């Protein structure tokens, strides 16, 4: 490993490759900030550019920089505008946006930058140490295990439900699951629930749904409920509160440590990725928090922001394990990266570390450098980025609407998406007025499609539900999902009994 690190270091620190790291991080960050243009789109666009470089190592360093740069920058629109354009940053908006709305946009962006840097850096260390061993672990996961993993992800709905709102959260999750069934099914390549509309054969677009659930209702609320967007932190156009207090830094340190490890190992599993890692990271931290801290989640909790930001960046790094060591893409983005590798005449797999050590280790070293570059690029720009919230409301509303509609249209390139955006946006606004949580809809939609695909394959292989009993790992994950779902109710009941006991004692 030491020899490989020295080879990778000598390759990665060449002037050309250092320039490619900086270029990839900068492009990825800027694209990640724009709702609707996620890492998949920009990597697909950058592949012809990467191929013209000629050197496979430099090309992969550039594309990897774009990938984790987009995840790093994707939190900006989630925090400032409540418009998550990348699925992996949806959970960041749950506490990041309330912080920005309360006048702490600078602090929220600082926490996101530090958590992202820490998660990515720790993920690289774990990648360097565990890559060979984890490649064999990833092979143990089949369709049955992935189905159970999606169920674990769905069990996170309990973390997004306020006090007494678990039933509402379940209803919203079921709505998301139903929306995921529109389009071609996993078992039969025939359209379903499309009502004869050709544009719905591929299903609803994630970008359209994310914008309709979060960004569009926010613009409507700005009109219906006039208020000062930036709060006390943006008076006079000045952004204050860029730094965390020592107490806040101490509180998020263990969160960053836990979610770096958890996010990385989730990212290692093909088919999991940054989205599930961020949702599970948020859910786990909320469930293990004290009762007083749980009340802050969803209302500007620093832990609620640090957890998904750490987890999604660690998972982004972890996704390179199955890509480089097995040649298995763990997500749509890594599938595009796999195509780029093949186009560059590089065959990823178990032999890559032996046959092309300079590529494998140079990419790892470039991730160290890239995470540092991202921190240096982002921290000085936070005061200027945060000034978006100082824009007067009559200018901010068209700004939000423009990026919302642009992101939705770019997703599928047809006008039907704009009609769906308006329809879902009105529906989401009504649900928000009725105090229904909207996050479970998106969780159900994102995980529902993957869950159905893996469930269908498992049923075909085992001819029934026998896979639950025959595969102990699947059964263990399903039991863990049940525990996650009922744990908040048990804790609430114990708290009520304790309060009653204290009252009786008085």
Q: Would you give per-residue pLDDT tens digits along the chain (506 residues)? A: 667 677 777 887 888 888 998 998 888 887 777 665 566 667 767 777 787 887 888 888 888 888 878 877 778 878 887 777 677 778 888 888 888 888 888 888 889 888 988 988 898 888 888 776 765 666 677 788 878 877 877 776 665 555 556 778 888 888 988 988 888 776 667 778 888 777 787 788 777 887 788 778 877 877 776 554 444 444 444 455 567 788 888 889 999 999 999 999 888 776 567 778 888 888 888 888 887 888 888 888 899 899 999 998 888 888 877 777 766 666 667 767 777 777 778 777 666 777 777 887 888 888 888 888 888 877 777 777 766 656 666 676 787 787 778 767 766 677 788 888 889 989 988 988 888 888 788 778 877 877 888 888 888 888 778 788 878 888 888 888 888 777 767 766 776 777 776 666 65
Does 443 map to a domain? no
- What are the backbone dihedrals phi and psi of residue 230, each rounded to the nearest 5 degrees, phi first? -85, -10
Answer yes or no: is 377 within a domain: yes
Q: Given this model, what pLDDT does residue 143 score?
A: 81
* Alpha carbon distance 116, 371 (integer Å): 8
Buried b (16+ CB within 10 A) or exposed e, 191-220: beebeeeeebeebbbbbbbbbbbbbbbbbb
Report helix, strand and coil shares of the chain as percent, to nearest 5.
80, 0, 20
Q: How many domains does the chain have?
A: 1
Within a domain: residue 234?
Answer: no
Tell me, what's the pLDDT at 38?
62
For residue 230, what pLDDT is reported?
Answer: 43
Residue 38 lies inside a defined structural domain of this protein: yes
Range of the domain at 8: 1-145+202-224+240-415
Assign 437 to helix, strand or coil: coil
- Domain-located, residue 409: yes
Q: What is the pLDDT of residue 310?
A: 92
Task: Encode pLDDT of 330-362 as tens digits.
Answer: 666 776 777 777 777 877 766 677 777 788 788
- What pLDDT was estimated at residue 90? 80
263: CB partners within 8 A, 6+ apart: 119, 123, 274, 277, 278, 281, 310, 311, 312, 313, 314, 315, 318
Task: Please state, in angstroms and rounded to a whole number, the distance separating the CA atoms of residues 355 and 385.
Answer: 44
Looking at the domain assignment, is residue 457 inside a domain?
Answer: no
Cα 156 to Cα 275: distance, rounded to the nearest angstrom: 12
In this structure, is residue 15 part of a structural domain?
A: yes
Q: How far apart are CA 204 and CA 442, in angstroms?
A: 11
- Is residue 46, in this structure, part of any structural domain at all? yes
* Measured distance CA(159)–CA(285) in Å, rounded: 9
d(CA 290, CA 303): 12
């Amino acid at each position: 490993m030491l020899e490989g690190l020295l080879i990778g270091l000598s390759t990665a620190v060449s002037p050309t490759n250092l320039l490619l790291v900086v270029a990839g991080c900068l492009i990825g960050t800027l694209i990640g900030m724009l709702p609707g243009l996620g890492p998949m789109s920009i990597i697909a666009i950058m592949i012809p550019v990467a191929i013209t470089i000629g050197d496979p190592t430099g090309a992969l360093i550039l594309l990897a920089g774009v990938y984790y740069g987009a995840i790093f920058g994707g939190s900006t629109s989630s925090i400032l505008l409540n418009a998550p354009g990348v699925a992996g940053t949806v959970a960041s908006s749950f506490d990041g946006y309330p912080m920005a709305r309360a006048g702490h946009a600078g602090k929220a962006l600082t926490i996101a930058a530090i958590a992202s840097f820490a998660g990515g850096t720790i993920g690289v260390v774990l990648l360097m140490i565990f890559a060979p061993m984890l490649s064999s672990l990833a092979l143990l996961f089949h369709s049955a295990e992935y189905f159970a993993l999606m169920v674990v992800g769905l069990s996170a709905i309990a973390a997004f439900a306020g006090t007494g709102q678990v039933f509402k959260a379940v209803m919203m999750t079921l709505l998301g699951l139903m929306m995921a069934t529109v389009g071609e099914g996993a078992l039969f390549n025939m359209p379903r629930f499309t009502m004869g509309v050709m544009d719905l054969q591929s299903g609803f677009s994630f970008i359209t749904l994310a914008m309709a659930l979060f960004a569009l209702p926010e613009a409507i609320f700005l009109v219906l409920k006039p208020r000062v967007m930036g709060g006390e932190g943006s008076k006079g156009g000045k952004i204050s509160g860029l730094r965390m207090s020592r107490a806040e830094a101490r509180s998020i340190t263990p969160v960053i440590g836990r979610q770096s490890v958890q996010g990385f190992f989730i990212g290692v599993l093909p088919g999991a990725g940054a989205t599930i890692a961020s949702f599970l990271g948020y859910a786990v931290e909320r469930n293990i928090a004290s009762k007083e801290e749980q009340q802050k989640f969803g209302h500007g909790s620093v832990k609620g922001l640090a957890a998904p930001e750490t987890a999604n960046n660690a998972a982004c790094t972890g996704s390179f394990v199955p890509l480089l060591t097995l040649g298995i893409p763990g997500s749509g983005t890594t599938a595009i990266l796999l195509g780029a590798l093949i186009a560059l005449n590089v065959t990823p797999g178990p032999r890559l570390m032996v046959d092309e050590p300079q590529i494998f280790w140079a990419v790892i070293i470039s991730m160290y450098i890239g995470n540092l570059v991202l921190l240096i690029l982002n921290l000085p720009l936070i005061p200027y980025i945060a000034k978006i919230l100082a824009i007067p409301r009559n200018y901010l509303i068209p700004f939000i609407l423009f990026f919302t509609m642009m992101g939705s249209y770019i997703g599928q390139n047809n006008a039907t998406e704009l009609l769906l955006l308006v329809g879902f946006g009105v529906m989401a606004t009504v649900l928000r007025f009725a105090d229904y949580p909207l996050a479970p809809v998106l969780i159900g939609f994102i995980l529902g499609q993957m869950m159905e695909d893996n469930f269908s394959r498992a049923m075909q292989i085992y001819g029934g539900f026998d896979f639950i009993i025959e595969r102990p790992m699947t059964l263990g994950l399903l039991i863990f999902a049940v525990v996650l779902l009922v744990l908040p109710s048990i804790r609430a009941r114990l708290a009520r009994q304790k309060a009653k006991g204290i009252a009786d004692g008085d």
